[in-house]
C-alpha cells in the first residue's frame, strides 16, 4: 500500500507519522508535569500550616509556663507576658485557620482553641486568687486534675494534628511522584515507538525511491542503447542508398513523413520530461518545508525543558525554607536544654520550669523531624524532575535524527531533479538529430534511386527507432507518475 503512493506522498506520510506521535507524547507529558506542578502549592500550604500550629502550641505552652511563674514569685510583669502569649495564640490560630481546609484538622484546631480558652479562664482564677493574697488556694487550684487535663489534652490534640498533617503530606507527595513517573514512562515509550517508526519509515521511503529510480534508469539505458543501434543501422543504410541511388521518391516521401512523426514524438518526450522536472522541484520544496517544521518542533521541546528547569529552581527554594525551619528547631532545642539546666540549678522551685523545657524540646524535635521528612520528599521530586529533563533531551535528539533523515530525502530529490533534467536534454538532442535526418532525406529524394532491398532495410531501421522512442516516452511517463 505504501509503495502505491507517489514519491512526494511517501515522504510526507513518512514524516507526518513520527510528528503526530511526538505531538501526542508531548501533550501527555505536559499534562503530567502540570499535574505535578499543581501539587506544589498544596505542599507549601501544608508546610505553612504546620509552622502556624507549632507557633500555636508554643504560645499555649508559654501561657502555662507564665502562669506557673506568677504563682512562684507573683511578679506583675508575668501577667503582661501572659496577655502577650494569649494574643500570639489568637494570632497564630487565625493564620492556621486560614490555611487549613481539611475538616478533621479544623476540628483539631478548634479543640486547641477551646482548651486554650479553658486554660485562660483557669489562669484568670489563679491570678485573682494570687492578687487577693490567697496564695495557698491559687496553688491548690493550679494543682487540680482539671489543670493537668487541659495541658495533657492540649498535647494530645497537637500530636493528632501533626500525625494527620504528615499523612496528608505523604498523600500529596505520592500523587506528585505518580504524575512525574507517568511523564517519565510516556517519554521513554514514546521515544522507543518514535525511533522504531522513524527507522521503519526511513527504510520504506529509501527502498521505494531506490527501486523506482533503478527501474527508471534501467529503462532509460536500454532505450538509449536501442536508439544508438538504430542510428548506426540508419547510417549504413544511407551509405548503401548513396552508392546504389535506386530508392524511389515515393519511398523517401514515406521516410520523410516517418521522420517528421519521430520529431513530434521526441518533442512530446521533452515536454513530458520538463513537466516531471517541475514536479520534482515541488517535491524538493515540500521536503524543505518538512525540515522547517521539524526545527520548530525542536524549539518547542527546548521550551518544555526550560519549564522543567524552572520547576527544579522552585524545589531548591523549598529546600532552603525547610533548612531554615530545621535550624529554628535546633536553636529551640538548645534553648530548651539551657532552660532545663537553669531549672536544675534552681532546685525545687525550678521543677515546673524543667517540665516546660522538656515539652519545648519535644516540640522542637518533632518540628525538626517533620522538616527533615519534607526535605526528603522534595529531594525525591527533584530527582524525578531530573529524570524528566533527561528524557526530554532524548526526545530532542530524536527530532535531530528525524531532521537528518529529511535532509537525506531532500538530497535524493536533488538527484532525481538532476536525472530528469538530463533526460530532458537528451530528448531535445534526439529531436534535433531526427530533424536533421528529415532534411537529409529530403535532399536524397532528388537524386536517389536505391535498390528495393536497401529501402526495406531502411524501413526496418526506422521501425526500430520508433520502437525505441516509444519506450523512452513510456519511461518518462512512468518517471512522472512516481515523482
Structural domain includes residue 2: no
- What is the pLDDT at residue 228? 58
Total number of domains constituting the chain:
1
Nine cell digits for residue 473: 516516452
d(C-alpha 264, C-alpha 429), whole Å: 13
Structural domain includes residue 455: yes
Structural domain includes residue 431: yes
More confident residue, 411 or 448: 411
Residue with cell 530532542: 396
Residue with cell 506542578: 37
Q: State the Cα torsion 242-243-245-250 to the nearest 10°.
A: -50
Structural domain includes residue 319: yes
Q: Residue 2 pLDDT > 70, yes or no?
A: no
Banded pLDDT at 421 (limits 50, 70, 90)? confident
What's the full length of the chain, in residues?
483
Q: Residue 8 pLDDT > 80, yes or no?
A: no
The DSSP H or E segment spanning 196 is helix 145-244
Residue 464: domain span: 7-482
Query: Which residues have C-beta within 8 Å of that of residue 312, sequence separation ≥ 6?
Result: 382, 385, 386, 389
Query: Which residues have C-beta within 8 Å of that of residue 379, sequence separation ≥ 6?
Result: 319
- What is the pLDDT at residue 416? 57
More confident residue, 474 or 66: 66
d(C-alpha 310, C-alpha 317), whole Å: 11
Structural domain includes residue 381: yes
d(C-alpha 54, C-alpha 59), whole Å: 9
Half-sphere exposure of 185 (CA within 13 A, CB side): 7
Three-state SS at 4: coil
Give how far Cα 207 sits from Cα of 211, 280, 408, Å: 6, 18, 13
* Of the candidates 329, 343, 349, the residue with the CA atom closest to the CA atom of residue 58: 329
The DSSP H or E segment spanning 105 is helix 103-131
Structural domain includes residue 26: yes
Nine cell digits for residue 137: 488556694
Residue with cell 518533442: 267
- Can you say how many angstroms the Cα of residue 29 is from the centroid of all Cα atoms in its chain? 6
User: Are the beta carbons of 113 and 129 closer than 8 angstroms?
Assistant: no
Cβ atoms < 10 Å from Cβ of 95 = 17
More confident residue, 390 or 231: 390
d(C-alpha 463, C-alpha 228), whole Å: 13
Q: ∠ at Cα 43 (327, 47), nearest 5°?
A: 35
**pLDDT, tens digit, for every residue of 238-293?**
567 656 657 756 766 776 677 677 677 767 767 876 886 787 678 778 768 877 87
Burial grade of 218 (CB within 10 A; 0-12, 13-18, 19 or more):
exposed
Instruction: Give the chain's mean pLDDT.
Output: 76
**pLDDT, tens digit, for every residue of 288-330?**
887 787 788 678 767 867 877 887 787 778 778 778 877 877 8
Q: Give percent of the chain above pLDDT 90.
A: 1
Structural domain includes residue 1: no
Structural domain includes residue 452: yes
- What is the pLDDT at residue 48? 75
* Of the candidates 168, 175, 171, the residue with the CA atom closest to the CA atom of residue 47: 168
**pLDDT, tens digit, for every residue of 364-374?**
788 788 878 87
Query: Which residues have C-beta within 8 Å of that of residue 106, sequence separation ≥ 6?
Result: 97, 100
Alpha helices in 245-350 (DSSP H): 249-346
Provide DSSP, 139-169: HHHHTSHHHHHHHHHHHHHHHHHHHHHHHHH
- What is the pLDDT at residue 84? 92
Query: Which residues have C-beta within 8 Å of that of residue 193, sequence separation ≥ 6?
Result: 21
Residue with cell 538527484: 415
- What is the pLDDT at residue 369? 86
* Phi/psi at 246 (5° precision): -125, 5
Nine cell digits for residue 268: 512530446
d(C-alpha 116, C-alpha 476), whole Å: 97
Query: What would the mean pLDDT of 421-433 be, rounded to a whole number?
Result: 72
pTM for the model: 0.34
- What is the pLDDT at residue 149? 82
DSSP code, position 25: H
- What is the pLDDT at residue 91? 92
Amino acid at each position: 500500500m505504501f509503495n502505491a503512493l507517489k514519491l512526494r506522498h511517501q515522504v510526507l506520510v513518512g514524516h507526518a507519522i513520527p510528528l503526530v506521535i511526538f505531538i501526542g507524547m508531548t501533550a501527555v507529558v505536559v499534562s503530567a508535569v502540570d499535574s505535578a506542578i499543581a501539587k506544589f502549592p498544596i505542599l507549601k500550604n501544608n508546610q505553612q500550616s504546620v509552622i502556624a500550629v507549632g507557633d500555636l502550641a508554643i504560645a499555649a505552652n508559654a501561657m502555662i509556663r507564665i502562669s506557673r511563674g506568677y504563682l512562684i514569685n507573683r511578679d506583675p510583669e508575668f501577667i503582661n507576658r501572659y496577655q502577650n502569649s494569649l494574643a500570639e495564640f489568637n494570632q497564630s490560630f487565625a493564620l492556621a485557620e486560614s490555611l487549613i481546609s481539611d475538616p478533621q484538622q479544623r476540628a483539631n484546631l478548634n479543640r486547641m482553641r477551646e482548651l486554650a480558652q479553658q486554660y485562660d479562664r483557669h489562669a484568670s482564677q489563679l491570678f485573682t486568687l494570687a492578687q487577693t493574697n490567697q496564695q495557698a488556694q491559687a496553688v491548690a487550684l493550679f494543682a487540680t486534675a482539671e489543670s493537668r487535663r487541659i495541658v495533657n489534652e492540649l498535647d494530645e490534640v497537637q500530636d493528632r494534628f501533626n500525625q494527620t498533617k504528615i499523612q496528608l503530606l505523604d498523600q500529596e507527595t505520592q500523587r506528585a511522584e505518580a504524575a512525574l513517573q507517568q511523564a517519565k514512562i510516556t517519554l521513554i515509550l514514546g521515544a522507543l515507538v518514535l525511533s522504531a517508526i522513524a527507522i521503519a519509515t526511513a527504510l520504506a521511503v529509501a527502498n521505494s525511491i531506490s527501486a523506482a529510480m533503478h527501474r527508471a534508469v534501467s529503462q532509460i539505458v536500454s532505450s538509449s542503447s536501442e536508439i544508438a543501434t538504430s542510428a548506426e543501422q540508419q547510417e549504413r543504410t544511407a551509405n548503401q542508398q548513396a552508392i546504389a541511388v535506386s530508392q524511389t521518391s515515393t519511398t523517401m516521401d514515406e521516410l520523410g513523413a516517418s521522420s517528421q512523426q519521430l520529431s513530434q514524438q521526441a518533442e512530446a518526450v521533452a515536454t513530458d520530461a520538463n513537466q516531471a522536472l517541475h514536479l520534482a522541484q515541488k517535491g524538493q520544496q515540500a521536503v524543505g518545508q518538512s525540515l522547517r517544521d521539524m526545527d520548530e518542533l525542536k524549539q518547542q521541546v527546548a521550551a518544555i525543558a526550560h519549564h522543567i528547569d524552572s520547576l527544579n529552581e522552585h524545589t531548591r527554594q523549598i529546600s532552603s525554607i525547610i533548612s531554615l525551619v530545621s535550624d529554628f528547631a535546633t536553636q529551640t532545642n538548645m534553648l530548651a536544654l539551657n532552660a532545663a539546666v537553669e531549672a536544675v540549678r534552681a532546685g525545687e522551685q525550678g521543677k515546673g520550669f524543667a517540665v516546660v523545657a522538656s515539652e519545648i524540646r519535644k516540640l522542637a524535635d518533632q518540628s525538626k523531624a517533620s522538616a527533615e521528612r519534607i526535605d526528603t520528599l522534595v529531594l525525591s521530586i527533584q530527582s524525578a524532575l531530573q529524570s524528566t529533563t533527561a528524557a526530554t533531551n532524548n526526545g530532542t535528539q530524536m527530532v535531530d535524527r528525524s531532521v537528518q533523515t529529511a535532509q537525506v530525502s531532500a538530497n535524493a530529490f536533488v538527484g532525481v531533479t538532476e536525472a530528469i533534467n538530463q533526460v530532458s536534454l537528451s530528448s531535445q538532442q534526439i529531436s534535433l538529430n531526427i530533424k536533421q535526418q528529415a532534411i537529409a532525406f529530403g535532399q536524397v529524394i532528388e537524386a536517389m534511386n536505391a535498390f528495393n532491398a536497401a529501402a526495406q532495410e531502411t524501413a526496418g531501421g526506422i521501425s526500430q527507432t520508433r520502437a525505441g522512442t516509444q519506450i523512452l516516452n513510456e519511461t518518462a511517463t512512468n518517471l512522472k507518475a512516481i515523482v
